[in-house]
Amino acid sequence: MTLTTPPVAPRKPHAVTHHGITITDDYAWLRDPGYPEVTDKDVLAHLEAENAWFKSRMADQQGRIDALFKEMRARIKEADKSVPQKDGDWLYWIEFEEGAEYKKWWRSPVAGGPDELILDEVALAEGKEYFRLGAIAVSNDGRLLAWSVDDNGSERFTARIKVIATGEMLPDEIPGTLSGLVWVAGDKGLVYSLANEQWRTDNARLHWLGEPTSSDIELYHEDDEGFRVASSLSANEKWLIIGTSDHETSEVRLVPAADPQAPPLLVRARQPGVEYDVDERDGLLYIHANDAHENFRLATAPLADPGSWTTLIEGSDDFYLTGFELFRDFYVVEGRVRGLDRVEVRYYDDPARIEPIAFPEASFSAGLGENPEWAVDKLRLSYESMVSPASVLDYDVATQTLTTLKVQEIPSGYDASLYVTERLEFPARDGTLIPVSVVMRKDRLPGGPLHLYGYGAYGIAIEPGFSTTRLSLVDRGFAYAIAHIRGGDDLGRAWYKAGKLERRTNTFTDFVDVAKGLIARGLTQAGRISISGGSAGGELMGAVINSDPALWGAVVAHVPFVDVLNTMLDASLPLTPGEWPEWGNPIEDQAAFELIHGYSPYDQVKAHPYPPIMVTAGLNDPRVTYWEPAKWVARLRERKTDDNELILKTNMGAGHGGKSGRFESLKETAEEFAFILWQLGVV
């Protein structure tokens, strides 16, 4: 049955007052009071009604969706495997079989012998609407496998352990994890973190194999509700590294991996605004820290005096030092220069010897791949660009040469010579030049449709990488552009800081000014631009359609963080306390309250025309709760003055990432692109 009118959410008066300012929220009832359980009949009925409206409005697009899905799937090599990587006595790789949604994990002995299937995601996912593998870790002796699974999208994982050779499942089962799994104490113990009731990892715990989980030992507990705890091993596997951090401050403790109950060694007590991470070699700590320069330095310190840091690599305005990795005979630093990736090999005995790895294109995404061994003479790297499919490379450290081991295969065909990529810059309204990465066909007509993607939060850079799905727009005459707006750390830490807290609105105005620059350059026209973003990028979508609705021809907001003020006012929500350093604390700070209220997309919905909008949500999403997009759509329906499409799809059995499985997730991308093509009138 074709529906003729969209669902209208009832308005139920609700108001809250902070700092003497009252805000009304007539759709607050869409938050089930029993959350994270969602059982309220009225709430579920409304979400189902929105889903029915989505299905009705998209029904005529089903042929286009099917065609898009078919061509996207045809670009994926269905029977595929990764390049094997040596770790100890074994070579490890993953495989997809023909038609399979999920992977199989394999290994074979370096010395020769039969292949071993160590984990079968296909079998584990059978019969489940949702499946996601979390952590996976082989014991140091190669005998045991630990892994964790989430089967509803809530991001609460259950960890299990088995004997690889026989497949025997050990009785050990740890529910409620949200972390990696780290083998310690000669493979007799496993370190993990539990998610507490607020979905926060405030702990590092030790499980002794064969013992009940009720007797697990808490190695560390974090009292600051805004911090999260994570554990890992040092590169030489001698130390258990327990780190705790929020978005701008961190603290690290070291524990001997052989004796995880030994007293921990605190590297340096937390200082507000100082982030650092640590590794160790031959009694010397290597510390990557932003205490002396916002773009980080690399320092060293003796284990006997871990807080006494001596600079090894100075912080630099030009080189943003994003990370490092230690190996026995050399170490590698990674960073960005003018927004482009840089990988350097350096030497312990010769600080002046610096060997940058040269890559072939002017704009690309490159970095270290999986390098599990301590003593190596070759480095596994990843490489791609907006026109070059993803490649796996080996770099021979002695000869400084790159060998291509694998290039992403596109079965339906791909000719890179048909496409061109550019890195452009456009001035923001304050004069700052904003980089933009663009890819299009060489035969594209000027002024045609353009898709603009953005994120701009948490210091997350959007790399100019390759996408097979993107070709479905580009081959239909679109230019595809990535706006490297402030709020990400694409151009360094200052770039990130210029888009957070009191400068948050730079992110939104940068995106708008990039769009206007693309129009001025003749690449597209107002109203011919489709835009998309998810989570904090969905907040971006909400902000720019409030400020400049006429620029956009179609908008897709995935799990959008649009009810910013109400979420930041609710300390009981999973992420809120840890988010205050990013957005501000409106509970305690009136200026933060007023600033967030002034840009929060939900609070700023206006009575004006809006472009066509498609919104997605996940019922089990613990990051952006389902009621944020639901409330936003309800208020948009109430206030917008146009007849453009506004549709909401809530995945009733998934979370923040949408559907699981490599093909099921493609179906959602096909829906998104079908909506964009429909609204822009592109065949």
293 is catalytic: no
SS3 state of residue 663: coil
What is the CA 492 to chain-centroid distance, rounded?
18
Q: Enumerate residues 6+ apart whose C-beta is below 8 A from 283.
A: 302, 303
Q: Return the structure tokens found at 527.
A: 């109203």
The DSSP result for 2-52, as a single string, is: ---S---PPP---EEEETTEEEE-TTGGGS-TTTTS---HHHHHHHHHHHH
Among 150, 172, 563, 621, the active-site one is 621
Q: Among residues 535, 548, 563, 600, which one is catalytic?
A: 535
Best CA proximity match to 49, nearest among 89, 82, 8? 8
Which residue in this structure is represented by tokens 């305005």?
A: 317
Query: SS3 string of 157-217?
Result: EEEEEEECCCCCEEEEEEEEECCCCEEECCCCEEEECECCCCCCCCEEEEEECCCCHHHCE
The answer to whether residue 288 is catalytic is: no
DSSP string, 391-446: EEEEEETTTTEEEEEEE---TT---GGGEEEEEEEEE-TTSPEEEEEEEEETTPPT
Q: d(Cα 232, Cα 342) in Å, to the nearest integer?
A: 25
| Three-state DSSP class for residue 138 | strand
User: For this structure, is 451 an active site residue?
Assistant: no
Strands (E), 239-296: 239-245, 250-256, 265-266, 276-281, 284-289
Peptide bond before residue 84 is cis, with ω within 30 degrees of 0: no
Residue pair 108/90 in contact (Cβ under 8 Å)? The answer is yes
Distant-in-sequence, close-in-space partners of 10: CB < 8 Å, separation ≥ 6 = 29
Helix (H, G, I), strand (E, B) or coil at 671: helix
Q: Could you say which of 472, 510, 656, 660 is catalytic?
A: 656
What letter represents residue 519's amino acid? I
Q: At what angle do helices 505-520 and 536-547 cross, to 10 degrees?
A: 60
Distance CA 577, CA 395 (A): 43
Residues annotated catalytic, as ranges: 535, 621, 656
